[in-house]
Structure 1
Amino acid sequence: MSRIDKFCYWCGKPATSKEHVPPKCLFPEEKDVRGIYDKTFRYRLITVPSCDEHNLGKSHDDEYLMSCLAPYFGNNGVAFVHTQTKVRRALERKKDLQKMIEEKIVKVHDRYFPTLIIEVDNYRLLNSFESIGRALYFHKYNKQFTGICKIIPVFIRDKEKNTEWNNFCDLCVKLTKSERKSWAINGDNPDIFKYQFGKEDKVGCQMLIMTFYNNLEVYMTFANSKAIDILKLKK
């Protein structure tokens, strides 16, 4: 074990285990896709050293993240199968895992799909995304990120049209649309998860784009000490 592997990717405390990035539960088990997909979706999963707090301590949040992302309308077929198997079992086993608001049948291209409207805990989702982002930074650079992170889940939209949040998300996508074409796409299981790191700018900020199930995009900005100092001067 190297020196860097002895410390938690997030807090720097002594590592006691390995954390999967993103959580392993997002990847379908072979028993659930056998006969539908002739492949494994748990191939070369990323792991990083972690303390108990940032691994075992958030296992319930990992399952919550899975139950929010996989059933999202518009995801690929793998997510649909995952929802009908592992996610369904989780919801049946833990009745309080999600707060259901309404069930609907949605018609798309003459086909009908059952959907659920749930009340989302934004704090839990943002914390999960930050954990994944920080772990990917550690995996790429072999060091902990000690600055400030800003998470922008652009797939989450306000139910009202033309809101400030929706416009902000549209602007983020527009500003990176051209530049991200030159960013390397990483991830050995791209149908489940892939990610792209942008280059650090002159201010000291760097962008990460994470994509789940070929549909859900989360933008994350890393601001290092240089960027933080500049932002303080502008206040």
Structure 2
Amino acid sequence: MEKIDQQCYWCGKKATTREHVPPRCLFPTDKDVGEHFNQSFRSELITVPSCDEHNSLKSGEDEYLMACLTARVGNNLIAYAHTQTKLRRSLRLHRNLLEIEKNLNIIINEREVPVSIINLDVPRLSYSFEAIARALFFHEYRAQHKGKCVVASDMFLSPDASAAGSNQFIRNGIRMFEKEQGYWNTPIQGKNPMVFTYQFSPLDGFGSQTLALKFYEQTNVYVCMADMIRLKPYEKEFDVASKIFGLRK
């Protein structure tokens, strides 16, 4: 076994297990959705070596990520089926898994659909997306990402009127990433595209790159993975962006 396969994808400590990327709980089991979809969604899942801290000890974070992603309005039928099976079981076991602000009904395709408004823990979600990005970096390049990450997604937009400035900053960042992604000319990867795909940008002039994550065909997340040695002159600006995007309180 190569030495790199004995090191945690994130911290480089001795690996004690393997981490699924993204977490396996995002992929529905045949038992839950097999009768509706004529395929398995848990085939050829990516794994990377991990220490306990960055795998088994963050199982609660994985469950929270699954709940936030699958319950999001607008995702595909796989996500909806997941909410009716795996997520329902999780909510029965962990009643405080999601912080529900209020329940209401909305109209979709002339049908009234009950939905819940959820207060998202943005730093917590950002940590999960960063973990996925670092693990995919390890899978792709056989090395730990030594720099910093900033996560951007419209999931992080706040309904609070006082957050108009930071919301606009997030929207501008996402539009920039979306525009650039059209010129990447790199492969879109993922063996279960109805659940998850990813795409790395080419390296830029500073040795940094962006990773585009897509969940359930509709939810997009961008992770800017920066080489802080080469970006040292811009570290303060990078940290300001981190705060605005919600990575830090």
- String of CA shifts for 1:41-99, please: whole Å, max 9, x gaps: 11100000000010011001100111111010111111000001000100011112122
Identity of aligned residues (%): 42
Answer yes or no: is the 8 Å Cα contact 1:154–1:219 preserved in 2: no
Alpha-carbon distance in 1 for matches of 2:139, 2:189: 12
Secondary structure, aligned partner of 1:48: strand
- Alpha-carbon deviation of 1:109? 1.7
2:224 maps to which residue?
221
2:204 maps to which residue?
201
Answer yes or no: is the 8 Å Cα contact 2:152–2:174 preserved in 1: no
> In the alignment, does 2:137 pair up with 1:175?
no
- Alpha-carbon deviation of 1:158? 2.2
After alignment, is 104-113 or 39-48 more displaced? 104-113
Answer yes or no: is the 8 Å Cα contact 2:7–2:50 preserved in 1: yes
Secondary structure, aligned partner of 1:151: strand
Secondary structure, aligned partner of 2:197: strand
Alpha-carbon distance in 2 for matches of 1:177, 1:52: 35
Alpha-carbon distance in 1 for matches of 2:233, 2:131: 25
Answer yes or no: is the 8 Å Cα contact 2:187–2:199 preserved in 1: yes
- Alpha-carbon deviation of 1:200? 1.2
Q: Report the TM-score when normalising by structure 2.
A: 0.88
Alpha-carbon distance in 1 for matches of 2:102, 2:235: 45
1:141 maps to which residue?
141
Secondary structure, aligned partner of 2:166: helix
- Root-mean-square deviation over aligned CA pairs: 1.9
Answer yes or no: is the 8 Å Cα contact 1:204–1:226 preserved in 2: no
Answer yes or no: is the 8 Å Cα contact 2:122–2:156 preserved in 1: no
Q: Report the TM-score when normalising by structure 1.
A: 0.93
Answer yes or no: is the 8 Å Cα contact 2:177–2:222 preserved in 1: no
Secondary structure, aligned partner of 1:115: strand
2:245 maps to which residue?
none
Alpha-carbon distance in 1 for matches of 2:134, 2:237: 26
2:49 maps to which residue?
49
1:163 maps to which residue?
164
Answer yes or no: is the 8 Å Cα contact 1:7–1:49 preserved in 2: yes
Alpha-carbon distance in 1 for matches of 2:47, 2:219: 22
Structure 2: stretches of 5+ with no match in the other structure: 239-249
Alpha-carbon distance in 2 for matches of 1:155, 1:233: 25
1:116 maps to which residue?
116
Secondary structure, aligned partner of 2:48: strand
Structure 1: stretches of 5+ with no match in the other structure: none
